[in-house]
Amino acid sequence: MPSLKDLKVRINSVKNTQKITSAMKMVSAAKLRRAQGQAEAARPYAERMERVLASVASTVQRRESAPALLAGTGKDQVHLIVVMTSDRGLCGAFNSSIVRQARRLARELRRDGKTLKILCVGRKGRDQLRREFANEIIGTIEGVGKPRLNYDEADKIAQRIRHMFDRGEFDICTIIYNKFKSAITQIVTTQQLIPFAPAGAANEDADPELASYEYEPEEDAILADLLPRNIGMQIYRALLENAASEQGARMSAMDSATRNAGEMINRMSITYNRTRQAYITKELIEIISGAEAL
């Protein structure tokens, strides 16, 4: 049976842990709000970009002279997977769910005999993937979004990917990130970045308005300008979603940690009180039986 002092020490240490987790929860709640605000602010640009791109792409696709970023290289031998995770842990299953998805995709590609390249954004993803795919990881980008995520950071990543594509280092690029649904739910999303598939491409024929634009310069030149920008935007959006998801995941993880600590403290306090009473009773019995013996 643990002594009273041991119990006291344990209760205090759990109490300290609880203070930390509840503070972390509040911090990530505040950060989540900010991340959501940022994601909200990025929406107008993304929407317009998508609309313009869909309309330009629809006219070019018909002429079958589409640039490689849109049409692909015609091969699917070399795959680049961009795995977006966080730099920090203590956020529940956030990182491991992304890594699990990445691992599954990577194994599938490997089985099909494709060449694989992995670019990690965030330290946690690299740490977890390093064991199995040490030779495939071509680089890690750390410290994204500190102190504040901005477009330039996303564009730097996009530039790196574009350079690689221009040099013909891969044929197909896929990004894996967590899409933010709510603080409790994040959806692991796999999105093909290159060649790019416009969201509205399927039903553009139904919308005659889309094709009625004049273009200056002609469509091909606009598209050549637009597609690289779009990659930057897609990555920026994925990073924003990821940032919000990370904070959401951390918030709910810390919430349940705080609750668990509370339960633990209750349980241990009961044991502590019982032990204390047992000691008192024992001492009383000793005193009484001592007095009787006289």
Partner 1 sequence: MPDTVKFELVSPERLLFSADVESVVVPGTEGDFGVLPGHARLISTVRPGVISVFQGGKVTDRIFVEGGFAEVTGAGCTVLAEHALPVAEIQRDQALQAIQDAREDVEDAKDDETRKEAMKTLEVAEARLQAVDVVVY
Give the residue with the Cβ less far from partner 1, 204 or 255.
204
Buried b (16+ CB within 10 A) or exposed e, 185-202: ebebbebebbbbebebee
Site for partner 1 in 80-139 (CB under 8 A): none
Q: Hey, is 113 helix, strand or coil?
A: coil
Q: Which stretch binds partner 1 (CB under 8 A): 38-46, 79-87, 181-189, 263-271?
A: 38-46
Is 120 part of the annotated catalytic residue set? no
Q: Which stretch binds partner 1 (CB under 8 A): 3-11, 24-32, 148-156, 280-288?
A: 148-156
| Nearest approach, Cβ of residue 236 and partner 1 (Å) | 5
Dihedral angle sign, alpha carbons of residues 157, 162, 163, 168: positive
Site for partner 1 in 171-230 (CB under 8 A): 212-217, 221-222, 225-226, 229
Give the residue with the Cβ less far from partner 1, 44 or 290.
44
How far apart are the C-alpha atoms of 177 and 184, rounded to whole Å?
A: 16
| Nearest approach, Cβ of residue 106 and partner 1 (Å) | 29
Residue ranges that bind partner 1, judged by CB under 8 A: 38, 41-42, 44-46, 48-49, 51-52, 55-56, 150-151, 154-155, 163, 212-217, 221-222, 225-226, 229, 232-233, 236
Q: Which residues are part of the catalytic machinery?
A: 91
